[in-house]
């Protein structure tokens, strides 16, 4: 299976008003042999265009694409041996499941006996043997997607590109197919790029995750690093449900203590009233940004409502007002406000909390991330 290398790949399209719209902007990316790279970002960020560039359906202008060191950006899609599965199964309604899977092989002139053997092997692997003699109209959404995946796999491509293949399915079926996809890629040992707008899906599936926004790569790393050490404000706000809490303010000194003063440009005790003492292991890192306007980032699990779950060790606290309680089975998401700021806290399954009451929120500084307020980049 090939190693994919993109070098400064750009692709722009002409808009109806005559202006140029840059869908992919100066993207450099390496996908390792047999890796599953999850490509995630909001709608319109350039994910699908990037897949089409790799497949050969679009040409980079400018930029270079290499498979195992061989330049392929001028090759036709057929010469690249890449298979792509789209968001819609796009099955031919007048063909059976078997005929849909076999169509590509038939057009390439593969022998009838070999076609039958390869179709049966793929159908057994995907669990759709019972669908082979049915038309798409008689198949469920999940069965249609399996047939579309089989149509791609039966060609034995070097690279498999998946463009949000499960996004039109209901949540339980999407979770089931996601599990099957993990098992399948282990068996196939194939280089896979999986596009999704669902960040939970990206974290669950990817060996690495690439986050895109406005045509540019924001961060490429392992799922754990993407979640715990986002490279910038966008990644911090996009990855995670709820997203990372981001508090604007300034790091300064009050009464000999290092503090974070919430609400940019306001002194302690005014604006949001959000002032947090910064002590412990992270204090040296905070010192480096003394007097700087920053964004202080905490994941919801790094906050605790003292009245619900007192922290085991002393932690800095603030007082906040509970606005809403979202019950989610094994956990509860609490939305609180302190002045103008909103924060989300991940708590246990506690349904006895009443909105409107004031509560004490403790901050675990071991989970803090500091971002530059002007650029959004990670400082520490």
Asked if residue 21 is part of any domain, the answer here is: yes
- Residue 46: its pLDDT value, please? 92
Contact in structure between 66 and 7 (CB atoms under 8 Å): yes
> Phi/psi of residue 35, each to 5°?
-85, 150
184 with 273, same domain? no
pLDDT at residue 134 tops 80: yes
Q: Is the dihedral of CA 250, 237, 319, 307 positive or negative?
A: negative
pLDDT at residue 173 tops 50: yes
348 with 225, same domain? no
174 with 282, same domain? no
- Residue 273: its pLDDT value, please? 57
Considering only CA atoms, which of 369, 379, 372, 38 is closest in space to residue 236? 369
220 with 263, same domain? no
The three-state secondary structure class of 103 is: helix
Contact in structure between 122 and 150 (CB atoms under 8 Å): yes
Tell me what the mean pLDDT of segment 301-327 comes to. Answer: 84
Number of domains in the chain: 2
Give the chain's radius of gyration (CA, Å): 25
Neighbour tally for 148: CB within 10 Å = 22
- Residue 225: its pLDDT value, please? 95
139 with 48, same domain? yes
pLDDT at residue 264 tops 70: no
In the structure encoding, which two tokens stand for residue 140, read together?
């469920």
Domain span at residue 149 reads 4-238
200 with 79, same domain? yes
259 with 234, same domain? no
39 with 65, same domain? yes
208 with 266, same domain? no
pLDDT at residue 266 tops 70: no
Confidence of residue 157 (pLDDT cuts 50, 70, 90): confident
92 with 223, same domain? yes
266 with 284, same domain? yes
Asked if residue 57 is part of any domain, the answer here is: yes
- Residue 281: its pLDDT value, please? 67
Q: How far is C-alpha 29 from the geometric centre of its chain's CA atoms?
A: 16
CATH number of the domain bearing residue 126 = 3.40.50.300
Asked if residue 378 is part of any domain, the answer here is: no
Contact in structure between 3 and 33 (CB atoms under 8 Å): yes
What is d(CA 325, CA 322) in angstroms, rounded to the nearest whole number? 8
Asked if residue 286 is part of any domain, the answer here is: yes
Asked if residue 377 is part of any domain, the answer here is: no
pLDDT at residue 269 tops 80: no
Mean residue pLDDT across the chain: 86
Asked if residue 379 is part of any domain, the answer here is: no
Contact in structure between 91 and 100 (CB atoms under 8 Å): yes
């Amino acid at each position: 299976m090939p190693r994919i290398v993109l070098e400064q790949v750009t692709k722009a399209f002409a808009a109806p008003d005559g202006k140029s719209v840059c869908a992919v902007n100066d993207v450099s990316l390496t996908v390792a042999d047999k890796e599953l790279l999850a490509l995630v970002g909001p709608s319109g960020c350039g994910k699908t265009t990037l897949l089409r560039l790799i497949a050969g359906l679009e040409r980079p202008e400018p930029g270079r694409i290499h498979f195992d060191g061989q330049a392929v950006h001028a090759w036709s899609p057929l010469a690249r041996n890449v298979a792509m599965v789209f968001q819609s199964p796009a099955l031919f309604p007048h063909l059976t499941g078997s005929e849909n899977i076999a169509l590509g092989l038939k057009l390439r002139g593969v022998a009838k006996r070999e076609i039958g053997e390869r179709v049966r092997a793929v159908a057994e692997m995907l669990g759709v043997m019972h669908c082979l003699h049915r038309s798409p109209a008689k198949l469920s959404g999940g069965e249609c997607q399996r047939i579309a995946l089989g149509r791609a796999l039966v060609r034995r491509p070097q690279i498999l590109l998946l463009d949000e293949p499960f996004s039109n399915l209901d949540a339980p079926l999407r979770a089931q197919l996601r599990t099957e996809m993990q098992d399948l890629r282990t068996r196939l040992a194939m280089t896979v790029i999986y596009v999704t707008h669902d960040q939970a899906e990206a974290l669950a599936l990817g060996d690495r995750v690439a986050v895109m926004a406005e045509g540019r790569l924001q961060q490429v790393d392992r799922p754990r690093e993407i979640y715990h050490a986002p490279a910038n404000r966008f990644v911090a706000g996009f990855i995670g449900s709820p997203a990372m809490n981001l508090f604007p303010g300034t790091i300064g000194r009050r009464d000999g203590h290092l503090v974070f003063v919430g609400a940019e440009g306001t002194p302690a005790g005014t604006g949001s009233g959000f002032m947090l003492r910064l002590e412990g292991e992270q204090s040296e890192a905070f010192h480096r940004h003394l007097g700087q306007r920053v964004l202080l980032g905490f994941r919801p699990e790094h906050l605790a409502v003292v009245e619900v779950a007192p922290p085991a060790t002393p932690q800095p606290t603030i007082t906040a007002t509970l606005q809403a309680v979202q019950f989610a089975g094994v956990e509860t998401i609490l939305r609180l406000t302190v002045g103008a700021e909103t924060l989300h806290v991940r708590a246990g399954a506690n349904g006895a909390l009443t909105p409107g009451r004031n509560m004490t929120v403790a901050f675990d500084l071991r989970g803090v991330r500091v971002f530059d307020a002007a650029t959004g980049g990670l400082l520490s």
